[in-house]
Amino acid sequence: MRLVFAGTPEFALPCLRACHDSDAELVAVYTQPDRPAGRGRKLTPSPIKQAALDYGVPVEQPKTLRDAEAQVRLASYRPDLMIVVAYGLILPQAVLDIPTLGCWNVHASLLPRWRGAAPIQRAIAAGDTDTGVALMRMEAGLDTGPVLLERRQPIAADETGGSLHDKLAALGAELLADGLRRALDDDLPPARPQPDDGVTYAHKLDKAEAELDFSRCAVELERKVRAFDPWPVAVADVAGERLRLWSAKAIDRDHDAAPGTVLGGDADGLDIACGENVLRVGEVQRAGGRRMRVADFLNARPDLRRRET
């Protein structure tokens, strides 16, 4: 079986490794063009490109797969199967038709819930208690294809976007490896069409969403802080300062303060009044500063320390 792999960010690395280590033949890797990165804005290859070069696998970086030249180039690799994991480019029907066995996608949710670009963060922000990964046979629609295999993953009470990302990346690779073994043994289960009920969309993250509105309930804001760690990171104006909020916990506590009022802080955290209950912030980052515990932040802002009553 001849495989072509398409992916770009770190999330796709374990799946690329699963393809490389399988009994199939990895004949080419597709990834997005090098992008400017860092303070010097130097062109930087994607994590997938760097790994593919280490493996000695040919790398292709077309800006689009919609033009005929790119499609002819893909067809020249004579792929039996194309594996797509967080690639970032649309695959038109002409591309989906090139591999003799079609295209598979590893998606970080239990479809049809959270189709789209940011399923990990949206699941945490919505308060889901579990999620998973799905191995899907691709169609032209956005994550609409039938599901071949899936695995569940509980969402921990303190789960962040980063921790769940790592868990699902590893779980997705296990699922893909299982799918490839079954395909090679001609033991793959029939693809299951996605139900019409339960469809939700995980729209791409926007930095503007990172702004916390303290008129909302504390539970909702806690989820948002956890979901947006490590990117784009929740931000808020707190006691006259613009802060990034790296960790927070909802506290069941009544108050009569206006939303956004700092109720006091100590080694346990900085309590901020919300529309319902209190958000206890554990780690912050000041403008131009580093991430720090609230206990250290209070050394610079002793006026925010909790007063004994």
Binding-site residue numbers for (6S)-5,6,7,8-tetrahydrofolate are: 109-112
How many alpha carbons lie under 13 Å from residue 178 in its C-beta half-sphere? 15
CB 24 within 8 A of CB 181: no
Instruction: In whole angstroms, give the CA distance from residue 126 to residue 122.
Output: 6
Calculate helix-pair angle for 47-55, 13-21, nearest 10 degrees.
Answer: 20
Query: Residues forming the annotated binding site?
Result: 109-112
DSSP 64: -
Considering only CA atoms, which of 83, 81, 84, 60 is closest in space to residue 72? 60
Q: Which residues of 243-281 are buried (b: 16+ CB within 10 A; e: fewer)?
A: bbbbbbbbbeeeeeeeebbbbbbeeebbbbbbebbbbbb
Pair type for strands 262-266 and 269-273: antiparallel
Q: In this structure, what token pair is assigned to residue 12?
A: 């796709």
Q: Nearest to residue 10, comparing CAs of 244, 124, 187, 168?
A: 168
Distances from the Cα of 301 to the Cα of 25, 225, 290, angstroms: 59, 22, 15
Structure tokens at 165: 């990302």
Match 């206006």 to its residue by tokens.
258
Burial bucket for residue 232 (CB in 10 Å: 0-12, 13-18, 19+):
middle
CA–CA separation, 208 vs 232, rounded Å? 9
